[in-house]
Chains A and B, each alone.
Chain A
Amino acid sequence: MSTESPTRSQRNAVASPSSTQVSRRARRDRMVWLYVLPVSAVFLFVFVGPLIYTAWTALHETSYYQIGKFSGLNSFVRLFSDSDLPSRIWTTLVFSLGALVIALPAGLLSAIVLNNLHRFTRSVRSLFLLPWLMSQATAGTIWLWFLNPNYGPASAITKSLGFGPTDVFSSPASALVAVTLMTAWWSYPQAMLLFLGALQTIPEELRESLKMDGGGIWHQFVNITLPYLRNTIVSVVVVLLMLYVQMVTIILVTTRGGPIGSTETLSMRVYNQMFDKFDLSGASATAILLFAVNIALTLVAIRFRRKESL
């Protein structure tokens, strides 16, 4: 519990062999907390404070960001009795799982291809990573321009094939599909990088021995790669789901949640309630629901991380 002076640590270090040094190290020492103070302060200010404030505003009436009188759980009642909520949750599920179903296999396949490639590795890796190097805003807007119904090349192709222009963002179903595909397009390299890191830990002898036994590529994939990657797959699923559940930017720059709310995921709903409808308490209630979803995912992530590192 005492502060450490140079002489003291010197005496300890000289007097004790390394086994007791560990205990010296583990000894509670107040000065240590000074080193984590700035980080803690920043987190209190940017995360803890706002979370408490969000809970507070959800429990009050608000008008134009001014907090009014206490209203109990009213905003939650409003949230859960909203007839739009089931469709928003459905949209969130379709968006997240849809993007996951595309990005996960694409990431895994890209990683396997890259890992077995002997020539042009750098160029192919750059190609695979390209979407992810762009910002989400760039990824969203370049597709918007590419799919532009009046001037875009996609429209030229569909028109020459006899379909109409690519007016994907004007109908609810196609807008949701388009936003989901764009998000998968942007995010699959992240899965690829995580898989690539795991693939490189597979011992070469294992594959060599299988090759000796005459196993084919599929055999190798099912019997070695997949079992080896089991843990990584779960963690990639969690990372991607967290990314999709909190995705705002790509939706915001392309559809803003429209048309008629068809691409409004829970995150997008928080944004729209806050900045379109100026409904602070409603946005806070939705945000707390989103936070609960996120906590559930985080718990899976942390349990998983422990298992993997120990």
Chain B
Amino acid sequence: MSTTTPRRQRRIGNLLRAVPAWTYIILSAAVVLPPVAWIVSTSLKTASGTLEFPPRWIPAPFSSEGYVGLLTSTNFRFFANSLIYAGGSIVLALVICIPAAYVATRYRSRRMETLMTGILVLSMVPAIVVFIALYSMFVKTALINTYPMMIVVYTAIICGQTILFLRNFIENIPVEIEEAAAIDGCSRMQILWRIILPLIRPGIAAVAIFIFVFVWNDFLVGTVLATTEDMKTVQNGIVRYITTGFGSFWGLFAAFIVVAFVPVLAIFLAFQRWFVAGMTSGGVKG
């Protein structure tokens, strides 16, 4: 008996200590979840159900109207565009950033550091500042509404973070491996291709996830640099309901949001650790 009582006391003490933490968690759930639950609920309502007041949280009757209504060629185009932009940006960013990150890590010189600092500083310039110039330059030429230009712009925006992140990965590879390869007669390109690339595969995966989510979630590039409907992105598709909406579009709008969020959520749940690693690499902390 004498041993169980303190143990029980300690357990109660632990429970008591957990109270403030769980109070905070419940409070944040109360702040985070309502709009999300409301959107899911709206997406499962009939068109007239969305305009009921006072609103119902649980749809009655349940309806797949919103989701079925999404099956239009315009909407497919939005999703296809976002996929093309994301895929293109991943490929282009990796092709240009891996060599740069490698050289910047292994062949440090004053000038190289200056260049890398310059790239980092430039990638922190507010997007809207360069977008107005890009728009007025593009709109006079045939460059507006083209896939390559959109991909180049997306790539430029995420390049700084990509290089920073890849550099951290390459730094952790022991130089001795590369030296041994150099003794065996590998050229620099071969070292990069045959030794570095396989070793930084996890880093590449994290970067690819980061770029995909960035491009998928970005609204501004599609708003400014795609002026025709057939070049717009998923996020433009969401906002389109609000800005041009008439009649009862809320069910469609909510369903669109849910469908647009599914890829990001799926990636997050599947690769939680890499996801977080890739996302926090940016900002100021190296």
Contact = CB atoms under 8 A, between A and B. Distances in A.
The 5 closest A-B pairs by CB, nearest first: A50-B133, A246-B126, A135-B217, A46-B156, A35-B99
Contacts of B55: 151-153, 156
Contact of B96 (A42, A113, A253): A42
Contacts of B185: 6, 10
Given A116-B21, A193-B276, A235-B284, A270 B216 contact: no
Interface string A36-49: 10111011011111
13 contacts: A25-B107, A35-B102, A38-B95, A39-B100, A54-B130, A130-B36, A135-B260, A136-B217, A145-B38, A193-B279, A248-B220, A287-B128, A301-B124
Contact of B223 (A40, A252, A287): A252
Nearest to A65: B136
Interface in B27-76: 28-29, 31-36, 38-39, 42, 50-55, 57
Given A46-B153, A193-B279, A301-B124, 13 more contacts: A36-B100, A47-B123, A51-B133, A53-B133, A113-B24, A134-B264, A135-B264, A141-B257, A144-B242, A190-B279, A248-B128, A290-B126, A298-B124
A31 B188 contact: yes
B30 to A, nearest CB: 11
Contacts of B129: 50-51, 54, 270, 287-288, 290-291, 294
A151 B53 contact: yes
Interface of A: 4, 6, 9-10, 13-14, 18, 21, 25-26, 28-29, 31-32, 35-36, 38-40, 42-43, 45-51, 53-54, 57, 65, 106, 109-110, 113, 116-117, 122, 124-131, 133-138, 141-146, 150-153, 155-156, 159-160, 185, 190, 193-194, 197, 217, 232, 235, 238-239, 242, 245-246, 248-249, 252-253, 267, 270-271, 274-275, 280, 283-284, 287-288, 290-291, 294-295, 297-298, 301-302, 304-305, 308-309
A149 B132 CA distance: 34
A302 B159 contact: no
A39 B157 CA distance: 11
B162 to A, nearest CB: 9
B265 interface: yes
Interface of B: 17, 21, 24-25, 28-29, 31-36, 38-39, 42, 50-55, 57, 95-97, 99-100, 102-104, 106-109, 112, 115, 117-137, 139-140, 152-153, 155-157, 159, 163, 179, 182-183, 185-188, 216-220, 223-224, 235, 238-239, 241-242, 250, 253-254, 257, 260-261, 264-265, 268-269, 272, 276, 279-280, 283-286
B35 A135 contact: no
Contacts of A190: 279, 283
A26 B17 CA distance: 55
B204 to A, nearest CB: 16
Contacts of B57: 153
B111 to A, nearest CB: 8
Contacts of A25: 106-107
Contacts of A144: 242
A246 B31 CA distance: 25
B133 A57 contact: yes
Given A193-B280, A235-B284, A142 B38 contact: yes
A298 B160 CA distance: 13
Contacts of B106: 25
Contacts of A246: 126-128
Contact of A280 (B100, B127, B132): B132
A16 B220 CA distance: 54
B188 A43 contact: no
A194 B156 contact: no
B159 A42 contact: yes
A177 B268 CA distance: 31
Nearest to A21: B179
Contacts of A146: 34-35, 38
Contact of B238 (A46, A128, A138, A239): A138
Contacts of B224: 275
A145 B137 contact: no
A180 to B, nearest CB: 15
Contacts of B159: 39, 42-43
Contacts of A288: 129
B183 A143 contact: no
A36 B152 contact: no
A46 B130 contact: yes
B280 A127 contact: no
Contacts of B107: 25-26, 29, 32
A165 to B, nearest CB: 10
A146 B39 CA distance: 8
A135 B218 contact: yes
Contact of B39 (A46, A47, A145): A145
A142 to B, nearest CB: 4
B25 A32 contact: no
A142 B179 contact: no
B284 A238 contact: yes
Contacts of A51: 125, 129-130, 133
B264 A131 contact: no
Contacts of A9: 182
B99 A284 contact: no
B151 to A, nearest CB: 10
Contacts of A297: 124
